[in-house]
Amino acid sequence: MNGLRVGALLLLSTPGWEAYQYYLTDNLTNINSANWTTTGSVGASSLGLAASESGGGALISRIPIPDGTYEAEVRTTLRLTSSGGTYTSYLQASADAATSGNGSGSYLAFEMQDPQFDTDGGCTASFLVLQRTGGVVSLLSSFVSACRDGMVLRMAVHGNTVLVWPDQDTPMEFVGVTPGAGQPGIGAYGAPSGNAIAQVQLGTIYRAATNAVNSQTLAVSAFPRHIDLQWRPATAASASIGFAGYWIYRDGIYLRRTTGTSFSDETVSPGEKHEYAVYAVDQHYTSRPRHR
Confidence band, pLDDT 50/70/90 cuts, at residue 15: very low
Same-domain pairing of 114 and 149? yes
Of 164, 187, 204, the domain-final residue: 204
Task: Choose the weakest-confidence range: 137-146, 227-236, 251-260.
Answer: 227-236
The answer to the question of residue 291 being in a domain is no
Q: Of 21-30, 32-41, 235-244, where does mean pLDDT reach its minimum?
A: 235-244
Q: Does residue 11 register a pLDDT over 50? A: no
Strand-pairing partners, residue 196, are: 79
pLDDT over 90 (residue 31): yes
- Residue 220: inside a domain: yes
**Per-residue pLDDT averaged across 48-67, rounded?**
90
Q: What is the pLDDT of residue 289?
A: 61
Say whether both 195 and 266 belong to one domain: no
Most confident of the following: 45-49, 214-218, 233-237, 257-261 = 45-49
- 154 shares its domain with 222: no
Range of the domain at 230: 5-17+208-282
State mean pLDDT over 178-196: 94
Over 90: is that where the pLDDT of 51 sits? no
Q: Do 144 and 268 share a domain, yes or no?
A: no
pLDDT at 7 over 50: no
- Contact criterion met (CB below 8 Å) for 192 and 50: no
DSSP per residue, the chain: --S-EEEEEEEEE---PPPP--SEEE--SS--TTTEEEEES-EEETTEEE--TT-EEEEEE-SPPTTSSS-EEEEEEEE-SSS--EEEEEEEE-TT-B-STT-BS-EEEEEEEEEEE-TTS-EEEEEEEEEEETTEEEEEEEEEEE--TT-EEEEEEETTEEEEEESSSS-EEEE-PPP---EEEEEEESPPTT-EEEEEEEEEPP----EEE-GGG-EEEE-SS-EEEE-PPP---TTS--EEEEEEEETTEEEEEESSSEEEE-S--TT-EEEEEEEEEETT-TTPPPP-
How does residue 76 score in pLDDT terms, banded at 50, 70 and 90?
very high
Cross-strand pairs, 229: 220, 263
Q: Given pLDDT bands bounded at 50, 70 and 90, which one contains residue 243? A: confident
The pLDDT value recorded for residue 215 is 63
Lowest mean per-residue pLDDT among 89-103, 140-154, 249-263: 249-263
Q: Residue 257 carries which side chain, given as an amino acid letter?
A: R
pLDDT score for 288: 61
Last residue of one domain, picked from the residues 169, 204, 239: 204
